[in-house]
Structure 1
Amino acid sequence: MKKKSIFSLILSLTILCGFNSCQDKPFDPVDDPKDLLCNGSGWFRQYIDYEGFDCDQKIIFSSDGRGKEIIVYYDNFFPEGFEESTYTFRWYWDDEYPYSIFIDYSDGTSSYFGDMYISSYELSGVLDDYDVTFEPF
């Protein structure tokens, strides 16, 4: 009887430890995040902006420190039902905070993308004080 209860205890602890090790994001970021950030295509997300427009946002990072952002605003207000804006930028890593980048747009504005999580299936972090999640396209 004593052996059975010890076995049950060990089995229960093993199962509990197994459930405790589950992760929301099963893949770890790679050692060189630039390889995944500059994935050859880009990153995509959908959101609603502060004026209530449905938006698609695409960001493409190049390994030479350049990039392009495309935002499509959808609304019946626009003649064709949508309006597209394209922005070019230069980006560079923040030396003080790992997994964070500065983005300087060609029109003189800038953005900060901090606390980035970069994997082959997700780019997430805080972009100008907003939690964002992109998927590759």
Structure 2
Amino acid sequence: MKKKSIFSLILLLTILCGFNSCQDKPFDPVDDPKDLLCNGSGWFRQYIDYEGFDCDQKIIFSSDGRGKEIIVYYDNFFPGGFEESTYTFRWYWDDEYPYSIFIDYSDGTSSYFGDMYISSYELSGVLDDYDVTFEPF
């Protein structure tokens, strides 16, 4: 009877340790998340906008608080099949919420990127109420 109890206890501990070690996304331990955000090249994603256009979006963050966003809209309606728009901005951390930033564009508009997950492989979070996921380019 004691062998069965010891075996059951070991089995239970093994299962509990297995659940504890699950992790959805790889973790990059860094002292400063800005190092990953400003990775030197930038971040890329593809999506369909509210008008039905296929879009490519690139965001480049500089460590000095500046940045550039490039959006390419694809449709045969445009000459050459696409239209590209480039925006410059200033960004800064939200002091009240870690891993959240404010983005102020040069045209006077702004965005909020909250609940950011930053790693070498992914930048994700909520950008102006939309769940987004970027990959490095």
1:89–1:105 contact (8 Å) kept in structure 2? yes
Spell out structure 1 runs of 4+ moving beyond 3 A: none
Q: CA RMSD in A?
A: 1.5
Quickly say closer, same or farther: Cα 1:104–1:76, change in 2 above 3 A.
Answer: same
Match of 1:112 in 2: 112
Distance 2:46 2:26 in 1: 23
Distance in 1 separating the partners of 2:74 and 2:36: 29
Task: Encode CA deviations 1:57-80: one digit per residue, 9 max, x unaligned.
Answer: 000000111000000111111121
The percentage of counterpart residues that share the same residue type is: 99
Structure 1 residue 19: Cα displacement: 3.7
Deviation at 1:95, TM superposition (A): 1.2
> Aligned residues, how many?
137
Q: TM-score, normalised by structure 1?
A: 0.92
1:29-59, CA deviations, whole angstroms, 9 ceiling, x for partnerless residues? 5220001100000000111100000100000
Comparing 16-25 with 78-87, greater Cα deviation is found at: 16-25
Q: For structure 2, which runs of at least 5 residues remain unmatched after alignment?
A: none
1:115 Cα offset (Å): 1.0
| Per-residue deviation, 1:121 | 0.7
CA shift at 1:28, angstroms? Answer: 4.3
Question: Normalized against structure 2, the TM-score is what?
Answer: 0.92
1:134 aligns with: 134
- Matched-pair contact (CA < 8 Å) for 2:27–2:119: yes
Task: Decide whether aligned partners of structure 1 residues 29 and 53 sit closer, same or farther in structure 2, where only a CA change above 3 A counts.
Answer: farther
Q: For residues 66-123 of structure 1, what are the alpha-carbon distances to aligned partners after superposition, in whole Å with 9 as ceiling and x for unaligned?
A: 0000001111111211111000011111111111111111111110111111111111
Separation of aligned partners in 1, 2:47 and 2:129: 15
2:26–2:119 Cα contact (<8 Å) kept: no
Q: Is the 8 A contact 1:60 1:67 kept in 2?
A: yes
